Amino acid sequence: MTAPNDPDADRTLKARHRAMWALGDYPAVAAEVIPALGPVLVDACGVKPGAQVLDVAAGSGNAAIPAALAGADVIAGDLTPELFDAGRRTAAEQGAQLRWEQADAEALPYADGAFDVVMSCVGVMFAPHHQAAADELVRVCRPGGTIGLISWTPEGFIGRMFAVMKPYAAPPPPGASPPPLWGDPAHVARLLGDRVTDVEVRRATVRVDHFNTAEEFRDYFKANYGPTIAVYRNLADQPERAAELDEALAELARRDDLGWGAMDWEYLLVTARRAE
């Protein structure tokens, strides 16, 4: 699905997305719940000193900061610059130097072939128009360069969480595709097409042990995770439905509890080279 032709509608949609991700405290989620994912992606992409790296939908730098610590020349780009202050603090604490730039994943402000590595860690999957975002990932990667993606799978915990929230959420805008589709290998293959080679696909899990109870998980996401906050705001005048969602999210976490307050969240790791 390509981006809409109506510039005003697209600007309105992007403003909504920016506002949603500025809700709560996504940098806390990245740092406290899934800190391991960024280094996994950087390692999979083979980031080397001196490489020109773009982290698309970088958030607060979960992958961009490890790439910079590996010696790369990194730009962390995101539609929501409100996330950058937390990233800058973390980078300073760790001694990482990188640039932070506002950038729409569907219209990246960079030249064709500008980067050796183009990556995204559970980020670009949330751009509403998947084909437009995929086209941009390929465009700004140099021929022979690496594209690397980590995305939540539809079958994994976060994919199922979005399925649980869907009946309570506002209708998606026309033309928008569900984020967890990026965790479907066939979908990613269609998006990238024959413009990439040496494609490697692997399902893996990240251990999440930040929560002691299912209710603690639910309340943390209600307070910190933009998409969950937005769904509850949609139910502001429907307390009975909000209570239903409370129980549904807690039950989801109960089912995935490994028995000691830990969960394994599945993701899809994709690496590929842009065709020469």
**Spans of all domains in the chain:** 7-208+261-274
Q: What's the gap between Cα 221 and its chain centre?
A: 15
Distance of CA 240 to the CA centre of its chain: 31
Question: Across the strands, what pairs with 270?
Answer: 149, 201
Burial readout 86-122 (b: 16 or more C-beta within 10 A, e: otherwise): bbbebbeeeebebebbebbbbebebeeebbbbbbbbb
Whole-angstrom Cα Rg for the chain? 18
Does the structural domain 7-208+261-274 have CATH classification 2.40.30.10? no
Query: φ, ψ for residue 108 (rounded to 5)?
Result: -65, 135
pLDDT means per 10 residues, the chain with 276 residues, are: 67 94 97 98 98 98 98 98 98 98 98 98 97 98 98 98 97 91 98 98 97 97 98 97 98 94 96 97
Backbone conformation region of residue 206, classed left if phi is above 0, alpha if psi is from -120 to 50, else beta = beta
Q: Which pLDDT does position 4 carry in this prediction?
A: 52
Angle, alpha carbons 74-77-83 (nearest 5°): 110
CA dist., res. 193 & res. 197, Å (int): 9
CA-to-CA distance for 225 and 241, rounded, in angstroms? Answer: 19
The whole-number pLDDT of residue 261 equals: 85
Q: Which helix (H) or strand (E) holds 74?
A: strand 73-78
pLDDT at 2: 43
User: Rounded to whole angstroms, how far apart are CA atoms 201 and 118?
Assistant: 16
Instruction: Report d(CA 58, CA 229) in Å as an integer.
Output: 20
Strand residue runs (E) in the chain? 52-56, 73-78, 99-102, 115-121, 141-152, 196-208, 263-274
CA-CA distances (angstroms) from residue 263 to 157, 224, 257? Answer: 9, 18, 5
CB neighbour list of residue 233: distance below 8 Å, 6 or more residues apart:
none
Strand partners, 117: 53, 146
- List the structure tokens of 182: 């990026």
